A and B are shown apart, each in its own frame.
Chain A
Amino acid sequence: MLRKTAAALLLLALTGASTGCARTTPDSAAASSSRGPVTVWLSNNAQEVAWGEKWIAEWNAKHPRERIKAQKIPAGKTSEEALSASIVAGNSACLVFNTSPASVPQFQKQAGLVPLDGFPGAEEYITARTGERAAQYRSEDGKFYQLPWKSNPVMILYNKKLFAKAGLDPEHPKLSTYEDFLASSRKLVRSGAAKAAIWPAPSSEFFQSWFDFYPSFIAETGGRQLVEDGKPRFDTPEGRRVVRFWRGLYRERLAQQELFPGDSMAAGKAAMTAAGPWAVAAYKDSIDWGVVPVPTSRGVPASKTHTFSDEKSVSMFSACENRATAWDVLRFATSKRQDGALLDETGQMPMRPDLLKTYEGWFEKNPGYRKFADQADRIVEVPGVAGSVDLWQALRDRWTASVVFGRERPEPALRDASEKVSELLDEY
């Protein structure tokens, strides 16, 4: 009898456990008009958190029945992993202010995102706020699953002190053409001013190409995406010039093959880094920095150079129960005034056209950021296609094997990567 009781207890406990763990996505129709408390996740960037705390306090003071509860995105190797796990667990925040456009197709496939187009005036709001660039953030079904929020146009930040030490002009460094960039790099390393001229991560994570190959490719092609019209576009003369340029940096040990544990430029080991304005906060108290556009083979003028956006969007997740409030919060947090506060607190570029005029006073006080603001008008996004992560991984695997470690020739490796990406695009 007791044996049967034990078995029944076991079954009951299992049922209880499974029921207790189970969550369901809120009914879409009811949630879209529902109001009440919402949760917001912010990145772990200290400046962004400070910005978030201010506007959230402001909102909460005015909306006691629709309070915002904010926290940093749960820890993970990347935010994307934590967000993907939260979708599966059904405990995502209503709004996440750090969604990578490359992950949006995957989150969509997981039924984790709410299309914003369903809210009254949403499409008009997004396109008006973002300008022509908004088109790059539409998903393949034509909807907006993300609000393009802020960009960090990738440029070359350099350490003026190390340039001077190497005998280079720190105010007018010769870094615009591949030839000049290599010559300056040689001087930096061979003079002993720096261990590496530039030290991007040599590891195989799919997203690392956004800080070496992709900005160079975009600059060299005058603003082409990796994939266009469903086809890979990087096995081209421009793409081959880019891989040869980077291979030269690694072959001559001007870039290091070892992963640096931390920020190589902040540590004084590298004289340059490819980064957006977010990095300025890390350098401004310790490094006298300068910034130039990403180099190209012929030296495109700064006013015409395109680069990778390193953009982050705000997305609404399907676990959100009070979506009407969440949409209002999203508009409030991306208003012109809050965007100005974001710029002031973080130095990152709100996704608004013509930043220099819109926030003229701020740029007068902070002239170091003007080049980033100018560059922000010519940014290119990752392709918003299904299987995006797989495509980048295919490219990265070949990149590390050929460009970083020289185990194979870069041009055939680029061709292999293109064929693999083509297969993946067909598969998806």
Chain B
Amino acid sequence: MSLPLISPASGGGSPSPGTAGRGVSPGGGPRGGLRGRPRGGGTRGARSPLGALFVTPYALFLVVVFAVPLGYTVWMSFHRFYFTAPGTEVDAPWVGLRNYQDVFTDPVVLRSFLNIAVFLVINIPLTVVLSLVLASALNSRVPLRSFFRAAYYLPYITASVALVAVWGYLFGTDGLLNHLLGGLAPDPSWLVNSVLAMPVVAVFVTWTNLGFFVMLYLAALQSVPRELYEAAGVDGAGRVRTFMAVTVPGVRHATTLVTVLAVIKGSNLFTEPYLLTGGGGPDHASASPVLILYQKGIEQAHPDFAAALGVVLVLVVVTLSLIARRLTERKGA
């Protein structure tokens, strides 16, 4: 017997043509998020003087910490600029797209974007699949469930430096893995191998962040109605079929969130290559754009180049996030 098409949206997923799709979300609020909010409510809030006063500190925070630096970064990226002592008058001539031209013709920068592409190709599918599978397992009644939940979350809250030391021990030339592999160990070893260094970093980051994404999926799984699983059981669906037809569509919004966050986190990669591969080695094979941004802007005192690279990176991340969102949400359309 085939399973009837049950819209997962009835349990809190995306809106569907069904009756449940127009109902209320599990939290009791209006479905559809901000899009579904009555316009009047928003306007009333904006007109409240007290509300405006309450908002002021956060608005100030946004302006000082985000808007001003972002605007300044864009300005820097179109000028020949360097940092000087306060009160020093220096020329910062307009150079148009020169800094961007330098960014796009720098082989190390291009390599770093290629590295990030490799990273994301490995990291995102691994993150989504592993965290969903683990969350599903930890959502069921398994022995020592709380222990396993804590165990998977532990790397996420442990200092990167400590985790890097463990991975250095595992993947070093004299590391545990090479001892186990013996003659099958790669030569040069993992972290100094220009082909393997970035995949090792990608797997490392997947492992460290997995706990966070498992938590997101666990939260999403709470909102998938038990009735859907019961209905699937009545229809004779096996575990895999139930997982694919109920669980996966039921947590689609969480998948979008996980994917977008993984893209953003991956694109901001810095600590791991900085510590694990000796600053993006070997020979820039694991360098990330943020690492190059730091090296150019801080180590080599070229903030204008770094600003242009930062702007390019922001555009790339926004584009990738939009694509990820479109892809993950289209599957359920």
- Contact status B59-A84, CB under 8 Å: no
Binds B, one of A143-151, A167-175, A397-405: A397-405
Assuming the A-B contacts A25-B88, A84-B298, A261-B168, are A203 and B83 also in contact, with contact meaning beta carbons closer than 8 angstroms in the complex?
no
A391 to chain B, nearest CB (A): 10
Q: Which has the most chain B C-beta neighbours within 10 Å: A3, A84, A319? A: A3
- Which residues on the B side are within 8 Å of A239 (C-beta)? none
Q: Which B residues form the contact surface with A (CB < 8 A)? A: 49-50, 52-53, 55-56, 59-60, 63-64, 82-88, 90, 108, 165, 168, 172-174, 188-189, 191-192, 194, 278-284, 298-301
A203 to chain B, nearest CB (A): 4
B42 to chain A, nearest CB (A): 15
Known A3-B49, A389-B301; 20 more pairs at CB < 8 Å = A2-B52, A5-B49, A10-B63, A13-B56, A13-B60, A17-B60, A24-B86, A84-B301, A87-B85, A90-B85, A110-B85, A110-B88, A205-B299, A206-B299, A258-B172, A258-B188, A261-B165, A319-B85, A397-B284, A405-B194
CB-CB nearest in chain A for B168: A261
Cα of A328 to Cα of B217 in the assembled complex, Å: 66
Task: Kindly identify which residue among A5, A24, A81, A400 contacts B87, using a CB–CB cutoff of 8 Å.
Answer: A24
Q: Is A52 an interface residue (CB 8 A)?
A: no
Q: What are 23 A-B contacts defined by CB distance under 8 Å?
A: A2-B49, A2-B52, A5-B49, A5-B53, A13-B60, A14-B64, A17-B60, A81-B298, A84-B83, A84-B298, A87-B84, A87-B85, A90-B85, A110-B83, A110-B301, A111-B88, A112-B85, A257-B188, A258-B173, A261-B165, A390-B300, A400-B282, A407-B283
Assuming the A-B contacts A6-B56, A106-B301, are A202 and B278 also in contact, with contact meaning beta carbons closer than 8 angstroms in the complex?
yes
Q: Is A88 an interface residue (CB 8 A)?
A: yes
- Contact status B299-A203, CB under 8 Å: no
Task: Kindly identify which residue among B49, B59, B88, B194 contacts A1, using a CB–CB cutoff of 8 Å.
Answer: B49
- Contact status A6-B298, CB under 8 Å: no
- Which residues on the B side are within 8 Å of A111 (C-beta)? 84-85, 88, 90
Cα of A407 to Cα of B281 in the assembled complex, Å: 13
- Contact status B52-A3, CB under 8 Å: yes
Q: Which has the most chain A C-beta neighbours within 10 Å: B59, B165, B172, B301? A: B301
Give the number of residues in A that approach B within 8 Å (Cβ atoms).
Answer: 52
CB-CB nearest in chain B for A399: B283
Task: Kindly identify which residue among A13, A195, A257 contacts B282, using a CB–CB cutoff of 8 Å.
Answer: A257
- Which residues on the A side are within 8 Å of B82 (C-beta)? 109-110
A285 to chain B, nearest CB (A): 25
- Contact status A389-B299, CB under 8 Å: yes
Cα of A202 to Cα of B192 in the assembled complex, Å: 10
Cα of A16 to Cα of B86 in the assembled complex, Å: 17
Cα of A1 to Cα of B86 in the assembled complex, Å: 38
Cα of A3 to Cα of B53 in the assembled complex, Å: 7
Q: Is A204 an interface residue (CB 8 A)?
A: yes
B73 to chain A, nearest CB (A): 15
- Contact status B63-A202, CB under 8 Å: no
CB-CB nearest in chain B for A9: B56
Interface string of A14-50 (1 = CB under 8 A from B): 1001000011110000000000000000000000000
Assuming the A-B contacts A259-B278, A405-B282, are A25 and B300 also in contact, with contact meaning beta carbons closer than 8 angstroms in the complex?
no
A171 to chain B, nearest CB (A): 31
CB-CB nearest in chain A for B282: A405
- Which residues on the A side are within 8 Å of B84 (C-beta)? 87-88, 109-112
Cα of A405 to Cα of B168 in the assembled complex, Å: 19
- Contact status A2-B86, CB under 8 Å: no
Task: Kindly identify which residue among A81, A195, A393, A400 contacts B283, using a CB–CB cutoff of 8 Å.
Answer: A400
Task: Tell me the residues in window 207-263 of chain A with beta carbons closer than 8 Å to chain B beta carbons.
Answer: 256-259, 261
- Contact status B279-A258, CB under 8 Å: no
- Contact status B52-A6, CB under 8 Å: yes
Cα of A407 to Cα of B107 in the assembled complex, Å: 15
CB-CB nearest in chain B for A256: B173
- Which residues on the A side are within 8 Å of B191 (C-beta)? 258
Assuming the A-B contacts A81-B299, A257-B192, A393-B300, are A405 and B283 also in contact, with contact meaning beta carbons closer than 8 angstroms in the complex?
yes
CB-CB nearest in chain B for A408: B283
- Contact status A22-B86, CB under 8 Å: yes
- Which residues on the A side are within 8 Å of B194 (C-beta)? 405, 407
Interface string of A66-78 (1 = CB under 8 A from B): 0000000000011
- Which residues on the B side are within 8 Å of A10 (C-beta)? 56, 59-60, 63
Q: Is A318 an interface residue (CB 8 A)?
A: yes
